[in-house]
Structure 1
Amino acid sequence: MPKPKANYKSYYEEKYFWVRPSSLGKLFAFCTICNKDFKIAYGGADDVNRHGQRVYHRKRCKELNDDQTDFTKILPHSHGKGSSILDIPKTDKTKSPRTIRPITLEIHKSETVGDIVPFSNHHTSVPVSENSFILPPNKLTKLVTSWLEEDCPNFDYAALAVGEKYDRAELWIKSPGIVSGIPFFDAVFQSLGCEVDWLVAEGTKIDSDLPKSIALVRGEARSILAGERVALNCMARCSGISTLAQRFIEKTKSLEWHGRIAGTRKTTPGFRLAEKYALIVGGADTHRYNLSSMVMLKDNHIWSAGNITNAVERVKFAAGFSVKVEVECRSLDEGVEAAESGADIIMFDNFSNEELHIAAAAVKEMYPSVMVEASGGITEDNLASYCGPHIDVISTSTLVQGYPAVDFSLKIVRN
């Protein structure tokens, strides 16, 4: 964990009228505009400037300038720890109003203080993506720990060159794509004691003005560099999957097909959580996450069980009502047998386009509630031929195996 590099300085008050010492200690500052403490331990003046750029702070400043006659609001030069809107006494509104000098609010650019380097492109933090709420924190921590241990199992010799010097690095996106994988990027650097501020939201499509700076990482130089490759690998791969998934979705929408595009379980060992998450960011379906997510009876299951009916009956007894059963079928007859046996989803695998749509129509006519999935050899180029009125799901391994990675780089900010 990096050591804090900045304590509260009195000159902050000369530069920013709204900042005061915090009752939480010298590693924090208090904002009289927002009525809250904020951390300055790693950025000092830079953190104060960054707070002044945040959306809520600027909104509060605007509110103050719009109504200067309300004495319950903060005045520009209140003093003392924890001075806030709650500390200013109300006036008797029956008396003559006082003349109030309007407050002129300015957003100050930070200056170099010690080893703090200004980051002129940074304006405000971006809200956390709601998609990240589905990621189990304990699983994320374990994954990041294993990735970092793989990359540095013992000595990090290059760390001697930079030591514990406080530094900052910019994340640049260098090729067109959807920004994806932010929770994994954040988790890598948080585990190393660094902080990350984003300039774009996850899911943002960036295809112009490249290369483009999209995030700032702050912390000890050795920690930033220790997490660099692992974090970039996450972003490159997740962004590649999300970008390709979105292209698939856009193509099906242009055809007015209303089914689901799904990525298969043919994922990279140890990286499935990230790859499945990237499918969601791109708008695609994750299909089943693992063997426990849904029952899928493939040809080997059928051959071992003897026939489709036996296989379906056995698994439905154990799976119960809460787990769907899907059967991989090689012909229309197998599809009908699977539906009769109680399968919820019929997958027609490696069918020709003509055979696929004929079989799907026949199954839907007999069993309207059964879902039909098309799979096998589906790419971006031939996707349109698989979209039909009787196809509910199109699954493909291309989304998790055939995607081009998006190019990212992380560069230390130089004076």
Structure 2
Amino acid sequence: MSEFSGFSAGGFSRLSGFGRFLFGRRARRRWIHLILGGALAMPYVFVGQLVVGPATDSRYVFNDLPLQLLSFAVGLPLAALTAALFPLTRSLEAGAARSLCGVEAGLLAYGPARTRAAKGRAAAWFTLHLGFGGVISGMSLAVPPFAGFLTALPLIVWAGGAEAVELPAFLDRPWVLACAPVAGVATLLALAGCAAVAGELLARWAPALLGPTPEDRLAAAEARAADLAVRNRLARELHDSVGHALSAVTLQASAARRVLDSDPEFVREALAAIEDTTRRTVGELDAVLGVLRDGDSPGTAPAPTLAADLTGLLRRTRAAGLRVTASLDADPGALPPVLSREAYRIVQEGLSNVLKHAGERTGVALRIRVADEHLEISVENPLTAALADASACRPGGGHGLRGIADRARLLGGTAQAGAAEGTWRLKVRLPMKGPA
């Protein structure tokens, strides 16, 4: 009994799978895809009739099935030529294959065909789509009425009598009439099977004929690399601007709270610095978010530069309690714009690193100079226990130091950070003329 139950369950599962293959949702969508191919084939069939009619000296090509098939065969090469001449054919057919054939999106190309090989494969696919679609469309128009006639034939004969229906000789037999409904259902199943097989073949051939070429993959890789570079740049901008602002505001508020009653003048200066820092940071944040919203839009606020914003950065940092000694042996206005912008972020992150780990009332020596066609930036401060712990816990630096190294590398320069002889040193060397 258990063996019979297992056999029944297995047979039902196979029957259910066969039913889904013929009439499931995917099969129906692929059938629609084939019908669309047949509709696209009609103009080419009409052109083929204009060629076949005069060539065969026939005035009624439409009523002659062999001539219709010949017209269809003549029209398919014209369809291939059309697909080869119009690169967008691949994009349209790939979209239809993704939506109706159930082909995974990653296996098909998105853009138009550019190379000769890609155009040839797209033309082959278009021809197959129209060829299979034309055959299945013709069968879909002719087979259901014929199958319906066979299924209803015994009822028609019984209701009207054998004399009322003129049947061919091979149908005018009792056993043939009894088998007619079975033949009608089998004909419909055969139509569904042909459509399912044709759809399955097209789905399997789609990646090879509509898939991306090596050039497409290279272009996609370059686009992903460019997108990743933009994301990394935005991450660095957010980290440097917002991170520095939060560190400075935290220390300024902490210092103001401690001397709230004893030094009101310092509290006013600290609150003014907090207001200035947050206002500038909101502007920078809006500029970065503008890039996220509008692609390459520069945003509503310009990026800060060493030439225009170094003085304000030093003022706000000193207001947080950090004792900064700055030595400037270079003309910031003479620096290239990209170098001036990146140098500002490097100085900002260097000071922010001291604020976060060394704390207020720490002496910092900032030096900026030009030597040997290079811009040199150094930040030095006494090595505290917090800095030593941070260095030990994060070998190679945290996100800020990693961001400084990334900026220096993109500009063709070098960055070094570490402790030596009781002093924490950050040294950055950037070429005056280097990669943009």
TM-score (norm 2): 0.22
- Structure holding more strand per residue: 1
Larger Rg: 2
